[in-house]
Amino acid sequence: MSAVMYEGKAKQVFQTENENEVLIRYKDDATAFNGEKKGQIIGKGEINNSITSILFTLLEEKGIKTHFIKKINERDQLCRSVEIVMVEVIVRNIIAGSMAKRVGIEEGTVPPNTIFEICYKNDDFGDPLINDHHAVAMGLATYDELNTIYDMTAKINEIMKAFFDDLGITLVDFKLEFGRTKDGEIILADEISPDTCRLWDKKTGEKLDKDRFRRDLGNIEGAYKEILSRLGGK
């Protein structure tokens, strides 16, 4: 295995012998509030690798192109090499988190429409909220690419909402990242896990996601394990 090509807050990326493929390793490290709060959630790397593998396999089956090739072992997955689009896409089915705070709407409010946001993926500036015109002006993506990203995001939301609903989980909000292949095709990249989604138990409203870490609610690992087990993992 070659040296780490890129290290993020929760993952490491290694180049493989095949230039079109990378190995992504999921770490136990957890950060919140743009890295201000740091910790470890024991077993998180393995759980999130499994959860992301299950969800990306589901999305591929439903016709969404993703970077995911296969899970190799407990912590690692093989993925297609992409250039990450430096925009984070957030979908909100229910108001929570930063939106609840920013505009003063009570967490848990159901809006009449689905909300899509984009943020500039840059830790130095705290991933600020931007709009399409900013993204194009900054050279982060073209309008065509953004349209593709929004189309894919809407489909992914419908697939995931229904899937989680069947498992007794409300998909409150989540974040997606996209990549460009060598041929310039936009595909889904990064991960989908309790680190990147808000997931509430449908019956009890219990939070089964990273808010347990952000808000010091305890039983973080138990919540992540609960999601994996409902998804049919170990």
Q: Under the rule (CB under 6 A), what is the footprint of ligand C5P?
A: 88, 90, 96-99, 127, 173-175, 196-198, 210
Query: 43 vs 97, which CB is nearer to ligand C5P?
Result: 97
CB of 198 to ligand C5P, least distance (A): 4
Query: 18 vs 102, which CB is nearer to ligand C5P?
Result: 102
Query: 157 vs 196, which CB is nearer to ligand C5P?
Result: 196
* Whether the Cβ atoms of residue 20 and residue 8 lie closer than 8 Å to each other: no
CB of 50 to ligand C5P, least distance (A): 18
* Whether the Cβ atoms of residue 208 and residue 199 lie closer than 8 Å to each other: yes
CB of 145 to ligand C5P, least distance (A): 20
Phi, psi angle pair for 72, to nearest 5°: -95, -40
Query: 1 vs 105, which CB is nearer to ligand C5P?
Result: 105
CB of 34 to ligand C5P, least distance (A): 8
Secondary structure, 3-state, the chain: CCCEEEECCCEEEEECCCCCEEEEEECCEEEECCCCEEEECCCHHHHHHHHHHHHHHHHHHCCCCECEEEECCCCEEEEECCEECCEEEEEECCCCHHHHHHHCCCCCCCCCCCEEEEEECCHHHCCCEECHHHHHHCCCCCHHHHHHHHHHHHHHHHHHHHHHHHCCEEEEEEEEEEEECCCCCEEEECCCCCCCEEEEECCCCCECCCHHHHCCCCCHHHHHHHHHHHCCCC
CB of 21 to ligand C5P, least distance (A): 24
Q: State the Cα–Cα distance between residues 20 and 11, nearest whole angstrom.
A: 19
Taking CB atoms, the residue at the shortest distance from ligand C5P is 97
Query: 165 vs 185, which CB is nearer to ligand C5P?
Result: 165
Query: 11 vs 175, which CB is nearer to ligand C5P?
Result: 175
Query: 16 vs 97, which CB is nearer to ligand C5P?
Result: 97
CB of 46 to ligand C5P, least distance (A): 19
CB of 135 to ligand C5P, least distance (A): 16
